[in-house]
Amino acid sequence: MKKILFFFLAISCCGSLAAENGYECWLRYTTADKSVIKSYRQRIQSITLFGTSSTIDAARFELSTALLGLLGKTIPGSNSIRDGSVIAGTTSSSILLSKNITVSDLSQAGTEGFVILSKIIDGKNCTLIIANSDIGVLYGVFHFLRLLQTAQPIQSLHIISAPRIKLRLLNHWDNLNRTVERGYAGSSIWNWHTLPGYIDQRYTDYARLNASIGINGTVLTNVNANATALTRPYLEKVAALANTFRPYGIKVYLTARFSAPIEIGGLKTADPLDPAVRDWWKQKADEIYSLIPDFGGFLVKANSEGQPGPQNYNRTHADGANMMAAAVAPHKGIIMWRAFVYSSENPDDRHKQAYIDFTPLDGKFADNVLVQVKNGPIDFMPREPFHPLFGAMPKTPLMMEFQLTQEYTGQGTHLVYLAPMFKECLESDTYAKGEGSTVAKVVDGSLDDHSLNGMAGVSNIGADINWCGHPFAQANWYALGRLSWDHQLSADTIADEWVRQSFSNHIPLVRDLKFIMLSSREIMVQYMNPLGLHHIMGTGHHYGPAPWVNDLSRPEWNPVYYHRADSFGIGFDRTKSGSNAIAQYKPEATELWRDSNDCDERYLLWFHHVCWNHRMRSGQTLWTALCMYYNMGVDRVSVMKIVWEKQKPFVDAVRFKQVSMLLDIQYEEACWWRDACLLYFQTFSKQPIKEPFVQPTHTLDYYKQLRFPYAPGN
């Protein structure tokens, strides 16, 4: 009886628990929360949208579809003002709107932002959504719908919101054959073969989801680029996508293979100073813009991991970038030039190489070039210090590159909410211009006054029905959008919004899922890469642990290069006595890392090689601490599982089961990381894994012989 009563209570507080496949992501528009639906019905009785563009049509579609779902009835359009009118548009499209907003509010909204106001007009309670541009109206509508979906009060609104960052982009690492490099959610959503004739509904839904979180650009192709994407037939396909995305304010960009003039242009060289090469790029840009007048520009990976680039011709990265920049500049295009470079010939610490290559070029890039920098100096590890380039190139806009796809953070099977990691980086202080010179201020352009600025996330989207594979991976896509709009939002706020929209407003569920999400990143660090360990994953596919690998052709591809375990101890000495990578940071920024006895222990083995009996703050030895963290990470995954199981009454059966199964896998894989790493490091420490820590289930040889020939994303 008790059980039955509980079941009914659960149903009544959560609304429908119909099976969900996750396709809608955070735009589910299910019945509004009971606590607010009555007031919403009062406040929302008619909708008026001024304007005639396809963007306004998109806003109208979204509003009417969403309100039908949320309020359970069709909300009529209306030309007259009444109680409960929701009126949206630009000030130029409506005198009513321009009369009811102050110049100051409007100017704060800027070109892409919006204002949402509760106003009494002619004695009637109205809600106004006002912007300077149609896209601002669409963003405002999506914000209003977010308020409704997250059960916020809407009686007395005065919201002004404008993006802090100009370019808010997804970077797809999608290949033309529809494989996705480091993709764990199925094949590429771009069906190149059926484009441009066939426009999959997914393309529109992709644009809706992106616009709802403020993303305004997408790089469609892999940075390990294929020049074929720049041939006419493919450009026509790209144009079809651009047409689909345009109403949603999303520009398309492509990756440009540096050797394209040779590969598809029939030239003998791709030397950026060669007039024929320069002309080829100019003509290519003209051709692209004739098909896609608002084409965004190119993202380029050059002279890195085998990609061709200007250094093949003894030219600099600036020479290469500026040549392409000149080609797109007449069309207002931009170049995003990646700083992810390290060379096989250079024996220096990989941590240092991008800084060494790029800082001398500061001030040498054309105005329409951004240098795109990964959050950390190695490669999207579970935890890295911020990249030393941030704050070191004041004359160049540095664009942030985060990785949403979980290449090194659990791939397709681990629940890891990455916003805390993104925030950790954004809030790091570079001290470039004294205290408070955060990475966020470098990236949003405010520190050095760059009006061109951007943030990108390497996409985790694929053709899986729920887009991202793991139901919780959607939260990382969501977080990228929200943080690029406003990097001051907390990871907690973003998780709160996402859970409410993606699951429900049921308070205990929101609390518990946030608990899981907000702790998940640190837990993952503990069972994979505690204490500053990094790059100890499997070769090629990067799946699972393989700290023992030491036979790859390039030293910096081997895990042993990074952990440097030996009979004395473990860790990479990056201080003066070692590679001195630490000197690439401002002295104030390194205060927490400099001294191995006083180092922020989260970065201990990143910056120091310390002995196995090194005393930790806790008084434990390093070896014991290592055992403790690996075990703690695993134990905390089991807590995640318990907390998830409690949600059964509040989550639809399909997603509940999916996440349960994935958490089981995550637990198994966390144990694998713990056991394989501890057994391997034990061969150097020569110390026991003592009680209460768990004894590994298998031998080290067992873990070493595991093979995963078809692991995804490779």
Length of the chain: 714
Q: Pick left, alpha or beta for residue 580 (phi over 0 → left; psi -120 to 50 → alpha; otherwise beta).
A: left
What's the closest the beta carbon of residue 366 comes to ligand GCW, in angstroms?
23
Residue number, nearest CB to ligand GCW: 379
Q: Which of 224, 269, 519, 660 binds ligand GCW (CB under 6 A)?
A: 224
Q: Is the peptide bond before 196 cis (omega within 30 degrees of 0)?
A: yes
Q: With respect to ligand GCW, which residue has the nearer C-beta, 182 or 208?
A: 182
In whole angstroms, give the CA distance from residue 354 to residue 376: 11
Interface with ligand GCW in residues 305-334 (CB under 6 A): 305
**In the sheet that 85-90 helps form, which strands lie side by side, from edge to edge?**
46-49, 85-90, 124-131, 114-121, 158-161
In whole angstroms, the minimum distance from the beta carbon of 458 to ligand GCW comes to 7
CB-wise, 224 or 231, nearer to ligand GCW?
Answer: 224
Known catalytic residue at 407: yes
The active-site residue out of 305, 486, 492, 600 is 305
Whose Cβ is closer to ligand GCW: residue 301's or residue 441's? 301
What letter would DSSP give residue 328?
Answer: H
Q: Are 484 and 631 in contact (CB under 8 A)?
A: no
Cβ proximity of 250 and 215 under 8 Å: yes
Strand partners, 253: 219, 297
* The one catalytic residue among 62, 319, 349, 379: 379
Q: Is 656 an interacting residue with respect to ligand GCW (CB under 6 A)?
A: no
Taking CB under 6 A as the criterion, which residues in 36-75 touch ligand GCW? none
Contact flag: residue 539 with ligand GCW (CB under 6 A): no
Longest dimension (CA), the chain: 83
371 makes contact with ligand GCW (CB under 6 A): no
563 vs 558: CA distance, rounded Å: 10
Q: CB 53: neighbour CB atoms within 10 A?
A: 17
Our CB check for ligand GCW shows the closer of 305 and 635 to be 305
**In the complex with ligand GCW, which residue's Cβ is closer, 506 or 542?**
542
Output 22 or 412, the one with its CB closest to ligand GCW: 412
Q: Which is nearer to ligand GCW, 380 or 498 (CB)?
A: 380
d(CA 396, CA 228): 30
Least distance in angstroms from the C-beta of 181 to ligand GCW: 5
Say whether residue 258 binds ligand GCW (CB under 6 A): no
| Residue 560 beta carbon to ligand GCW: minimum distance, rounded to whole angstroms | 18
Q: Is 553 exposed, middle or buried (0-12, 13-18, 19+ CB in 10 A)?
A: exposed
Q: How far apart are CA 384 and CA 606, in angstroms?
A: 8
Residues numbered 581 to 600 that lie near ligand GCW (CB under 6 A) are: none
Q: Are 451 and 478 in contact (CB under 8 A)?
A: no
Determine the Cα–Cα distance for residues 304 and 372; give it in Å rounded to an integer: 14
The SS3 call for residue 377 is coil
Is residue 407 near ligand GCW by the rule CB under 6 A?
Answer: yes
**Closest distance between ligand GCW and the C-beta of residue 443, in Å?**
18
Number of residues that bind ligand GCW (CB under 6 A): 11
**Among this protein's residues, is 496 annotated catalytic?**
no
Which residue of 20, 62, 379, 652 would you call a contact of ligand GCW, by CB under 6 A?
379
The answer to whether residue 380 forms part of the interface with ligand GCW (CB under 6 A) is: yes
The least distance separating ligand GCW from the CB of residue 403, rounded to whole angstroms, comes to 7
Q: Give 130's strand partners.
A: 89, 115
Q: Which is nearer to ligand GCW, 223 or 285 (CB)?
A: 223
Helix (H, G, I), strand (E, B) or coil at 624: helix
Under the binding rule (CB under 6 A), the answer on residue 340 touching ligand GCW is yes
- Shortest Å distance, C-beta 255 to ligand GCW: 10
Q: Any contact of residue 343 with ligand GCW (CB under 6 A)?
A: no
Which residues have C-beta within 8 Å of that of residue 234, sequence separation ≥ 6? 176, 192, 228
Q: Considering the complex, what minimum distance in angstroms separates the CB of residue 462 from ligand GCW?
A: 15
- Provide, rounded to whole angstroms, the least separation between the CB of residue 381 and ligand GCW: 9
Catalytic residue among 134, 349, 407, 444: 407
Q: Could you say whether residue 223 binds ligand GCW (CB under 6 A)? A: yes
- Across 499-544, the runs of DSSP E, i.e. the strands, are none
Residue 374 or residue 423: which is nearer to ligand GCW going by CB? 374
Q: How far is the CB of 573 from ligand GCW (least distance, A)?
A: 24
Residue closer to ligand GCW by CB (options 541, 636) is 541
Instruction: Please give the residues from 159 up to 188 whose contact with ligand GCW meets the rule CB under 6 A.
Output: 173, 181-182
The reply to whether 379 belongs to the active site is yes
Whole-number Å distance between alpha carbons of 688 and 641: 29
Token pair, residue 309, equals: 């680039």
Per-residue burial over 122-157, b if 16 or more Cβ lie within 10 Å, else e, is eeebbbbbbbbbbbbbbbbbbbbbbbbbbbeebeeb
Return phi, psi of residue 176, to 5°: -70, -20
Main-chain dihedrals φ then ψ at residue 406, nearest 5 degrees = -90, 55
Q: In the complex, what is the shortest distance from the CB of residue 302 to ligand GCW, in angstroms, rounded to a whole number?
A: 11
Closer residue to ligand GCW, CB minimum distance, 105 or 305: 305
Provide the minimum distance between the beta carbon of 264 and ligand GCW in the complex, in angstroms, as a whole number.
Answer: 21
Which residue from 251, 301, 387, 586 is in contact with ligand GCW, where contact means CB under 6 A? 301
Q: What are 584-593's contacts with CB under 8 Å, separation 24+?
A: 584/351, 584/352, 584/355, 584/388, 584/392, 585/385, 585/388, 585/430, 586/391, 586/430, 586/431, 586/432, 587/431, 588/429, 588/431, 588/435, 589/428, 589/429, 589/430, 589/431, 593/385
What is the b/e burial string over 311-345, where b = at least 16 CB atoms within 10 angstroms of the residue's CB?
bbbebbbbbbbbbbbbbbbebebbbbbbbbbbbee
Nearer to ligand GCW, 172 or 500 (CB): 172
**Rounded distance between C-alpha atoms, residue 443 and residue 484, angstroms:** 10
**CA-to-CA distance for 311 and 308, rounded, in angstroms?**
8
Distance CA 695, CA 678 (A): 10
**Comparison of 87 and 300: residue with beta carbon closer to ligand GCW:** 300
At closest approach, how far in Å is the CB of 455 from ligand GCW? Answer: 16
- Separation of alpha carbons 426 and 331, rounded Å: 32
Interface residue list for ligand GCW (CB under 6 A): 173, 181-182, 223-224, 301, 305, 340, 379-380, 407
- Catalytically active residues are 305, 379, 407
